[in-house]
Chains A and B, each alone.
Chain A
Amino acid sequence: APPAGEITVRADQATFRQQEGLGVYQGNAELRQGNRQINADRIELRLSDGAFSRAEATGSPVRLREGDILDARGQVLVYDVTSQTITLTGDAYIRHEGRTFEGARVVYDLGSRNVEASGDGEGQRVRLVIPAQDTRESTTTPEE
């Protein structure tokens, strides 16, 4: 498997705009990094100073998976390398370590592994579901 850091992107076709450091991948687009995988209709990759800095995926929906700890979807996904966050908007949904978050906007912090969900202030509120037997408690205090 490619080194954890390396990113592989595949698609039916792509357009490179060298001047802007932009690569737009379209048609069955897929981005992989270690065991993290994004599937979308379109993935736009931006390089700044020659280094990969941002990916924006759009789809119906965009799917994000990371092993079996994370499963997420939304209409738009932005992977920001600098802030090490993945933001999902548009009927966003994340199932992370058994808990599910739904809202207009859900942010997953790759460093802390925290999830933050927010509504859109108009109609879509946040919905958080914690399973009756929360996996985290069972792992921390098995004797109870």
Chain B
Amino acid sequence: MRRQGLLSATGLILLSLIVLMTLHEWEDRVPDFLTQREDTPLIIAEAVTARSFTIEGQLEYDLQAEKLTEMDLLGETLLEHPRLALHDTQRIWEVESQAGRVTDKGRHIRLTGAVAARHFGGQPMTLHTEELVYRSSQEQISAPGAVRITHPSGSTRAGAMEANLVTGELQLKNRVESHYDMPAS
């Protein structure tokens, strides 16, 4: 078999493989502080109460949670068993759920898991769903999925919901069905 020099084709392939492996090995050894992992929480706090105010200094919402985890690099805050009370001069909605996620500097709150919301304006009403999103800049809460609402003299189901926190108007979509008890005549 003819002797092949170091730089023969086989040699070149072997050499490049060795170089690649060395580089790969080196990359793993880069010191941790240069590549902080994104999923490292900055703060973990328990039994937390937080309040958010409008520019005019008006209370916008107060938020309580059994546990709060601040994910600084991701720009989000994770909540366990949050209770969110929304205010517009007075408390108008109170929402509880299993989990929550706050993003966009507190302007976007997504609540998930057995979400229960109570409306305090006008006639009392409660709403149950699996996901509720609060957008403070639009003064709106919305449920992208099925909702079940209990309201005076009845209940209503719908495929999605949006509520305007200023006007108090609720838009129900994707087929709506309501049941009303009749007053005794």
Contacts and interface: CB of A to CB of B under 8 A. Distances in A.
A143 interface: no
Contact of A7 (B119, B149, B179): B179
Nearest to A53: B183
B169 A2 contact: no
Interface string A6-32: 111111111111111101010000000
Interface string A34-58: 0000000000010100111100000
B145 to A, nearest CB: 15
B172 A21 contact: no
- Interface residue SS majority, chain A: strand
Nearest to A81: B183
A67 interface: no
B165 to A, nearest CB: 12
B160 to A, nearest CB: 9
B152 interface: yes
B176 interface: yes
Contacts of A12: 173, 175-176
A8 B169 contact: no
Interface in B131-185: 149, 151-154, 156, 158, 167-183, 185
A135 interface: no
A36 B178 CA distance: 16
B122 interface: yes
A5 B181 contact: yes
A52 to B, nearest CB: 5
A118 interface: no
Contacts of A13: 158, 171-174, 176
B181 A6 contact: yes
Interface of B: 119, 121-123, 125, 149, 151-154, 156, 158, 167-183, 185
Interface of A: 2, 5-21, 23, 25, 33, 45, 47, 50-53, 81, 84
20 contacts: A6-B182, A7-B154, A7-B180, A8-B179, A9-B176, A9-B178, A10-B175, A10-B178, A13-B172, A14-B171, A14-B172, A15-B169, A15-B170, A16-B149, A16-B151, A16-B172, A17-B167, A18-B168, A47-B153, A52-B154
